[in-house]
């Protein structure tokens, strides 16, 4: 079993390491343990044999959840648990569940709970985050990374019935049928230092419509619905529509899979789009694209590196957010064009 990470973007970044585990144990039953709200990530991944979910609760409720998870894992009699998160709790749960081999980074005071352990080296800490997990599985369970297989190792697939259903919903809402469809993700969970200003997204939507005849679909989590709807309302009529708050993870993957391109902040949606292989533009402010940038075959980054960036902060300590505010919509539109968002035939959506 593999205990997966707890954030959507990190799930995508961990895919190469998960592929390496699959190759190393080609004939084994491979299960992933994942938060229930993220389980849809694996809906279209046929090479995972089982998805074990759990709820993220607090206090006494969390104790009960952990007990149920321990029982679920114990009942399957796994031979090996590979722990992608660094948390003490993930190692403790695998230990209490009786998994005889437990592999992971020796962090968070959990070294004695691991049978196969290593410390993150300089390359794991300084390079792209995908290498963080790749180097761990190589050092602990001899799972090698196939360098030539990068496109396949990051490839994500939508579940076909999700795709059919979402495609029908999209087509019913479109006002520009047959035009390029661009997904726009204006929010980011980390904080305002990762969020390009809303008025820039409005200008981008209008620019894509005027220059390329494109239509935009604005996506986001339920808590981001108001922001997404404000952007649609401020844009030119028929330039965009919102599907924020309407898709779980598996359905969001399906939605992105029928789009011709994606533009958005450094977020989980950005990583999903790049893994699906659609033209993807990530807009970076406080975070470091060399560390967490999209790495799919048709992905690129737009940033405005200043002396103070990347600072990795949630908010700008100077209050100006120039690293984001000085990025022009025309630069993002040009990056989309350069990745082929408008230069290919309209893909079928049903």
DSSP-derived secondary structure for 3-67: E--SSHHHHHHTHHHHHHHHHHTTTS--EEEEEGGGGGGGTT-TT--EEEEE----HHHHHHHHH
Q: Which of 21-30, 54-63, 240-249, 335-344 has the lowest mean pLDDT?
A: 54-63
pLDDT > 50? residue 60: no
What pLDDT does residue 307 have?
Answer: 86
User: With 70 as the cut, is the pLDDT of residue 12 above it?
Assistant: yes
- Superfamily designation of domain 2-154: Glycogen Phosphorylase B; (3.40.50.2000)
Look at residues 290, 258, 284 and name the one whose alpha carbon lies nearest to residue 272.
258
What is the average pLDDT score of the chain? Answer: 91
Domain range annotation of the chain: 2-154, 160-338
Contact between residue 33 and residue 52 where contact means Cβ atoms under 8 Å apart: yes
Residue 338 above 90 pLDDT? yes
Q: What is the pLDDT of residue 76?
A: 97
CATH 3.40.50.620 matches 160-338: no
Domains 2-154 and 160-338 share a fold: yes
Q: Given this model, what pLDDT does residue 292 score?
A: 93
pLDDT digit string, tens, across residues 13-48: 999 999 999 999 999 999 999 999 999 999 999 999
Q: Is the pLDDT of residue 160 over 90?
A: yes
Alpha carbon of 57 to those of 60, 64, 66, 167: distances in Å?
8, 9, 9, 34
* Confidence bin at 145 (pLDDT 50/70/90): low
Question: Which residue in this structure is represented by tokens 């402010």?
Answer: 285
Given pLDDT bands bounded at 50, 70 and 90, which one contains residue 58?
low
8 Å CB contact between 275 and 296: yes
Q: Is the pLDDT of residue 244 over 60?
A: yes
Which alpha helices (DSSP H) does 97-141 contain, by range? 122-126, 129-141
Tokens for 243, please give them.
């599907």
């Amino acid at each position: 079993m593999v205990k997966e990470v707890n954030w959507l973007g990190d799930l995508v970044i961990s895919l190469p390491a998960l592929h390496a585990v699959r190759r190393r144990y080609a004939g084994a039953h491979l299960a992933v343990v994942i938060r229930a709200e993220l389980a849809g990530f694996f809906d279209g991944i046929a090479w995972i044999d089982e998805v074990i979910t759990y709820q993220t609760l607090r206090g006494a409720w969390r104790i009960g959840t952990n007990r149920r998870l321990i029982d679920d894992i114990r009942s399957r009699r796994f031979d090996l648990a590979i722990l992608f998160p660094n948390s003490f709790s993930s190692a403790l749960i695998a230990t209490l569940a009786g998994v005889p081999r437990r592999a992971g980074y020796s962090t968070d005071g959990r070294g004695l709970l691991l049978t196969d352990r290593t410390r993150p080296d300089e390359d794991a800490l300084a390079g792209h985050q995908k290498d963080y997990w790749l180097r761990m599985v190589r050092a602990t369970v001899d799972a090698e990374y196939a360098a030539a297989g990068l496109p396949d190792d990051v490839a994500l697939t939508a579940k076909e019935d999700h795709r059919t259903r979402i495609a029908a919903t999209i087509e019913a809402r479109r006002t520009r049928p047959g035009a390029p469809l661009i997904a726009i993700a204006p929010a980011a969970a980390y904080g305002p230092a990762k969020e390009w200003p809303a008025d820039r997204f409005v200008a981008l939507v209008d620019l894509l419509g005027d220059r390329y005849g494109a239509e935009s679909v604005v996506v986001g989590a339920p808590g981001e619905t108001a922001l997404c709807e404000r952007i649609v309302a401020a844009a030119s009529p028929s330039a965009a529509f919102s599907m924020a708050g309407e898709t779980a993870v598996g359905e969001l993957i399906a939605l992105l899979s029928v789009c011709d391109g994606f533009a958005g902040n450094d977020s989980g949606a950005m990583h999903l789009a790049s893994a699906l292989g659609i033209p993807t533009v990530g807009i970076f402010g406080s975070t470091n694209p060399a560390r967490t940038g999209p790495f799919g075959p048709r992905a690129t980054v737009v940033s405005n590196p200043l002396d103070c960036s990347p600072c990795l902060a949630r908010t700008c300590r100077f209050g100006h957010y120039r690293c984001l505010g000085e990025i022009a919509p025309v630069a993002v539109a040009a990056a989309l064009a350069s990745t082929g968002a408008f230069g290919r035939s309209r893909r079928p959506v049903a």
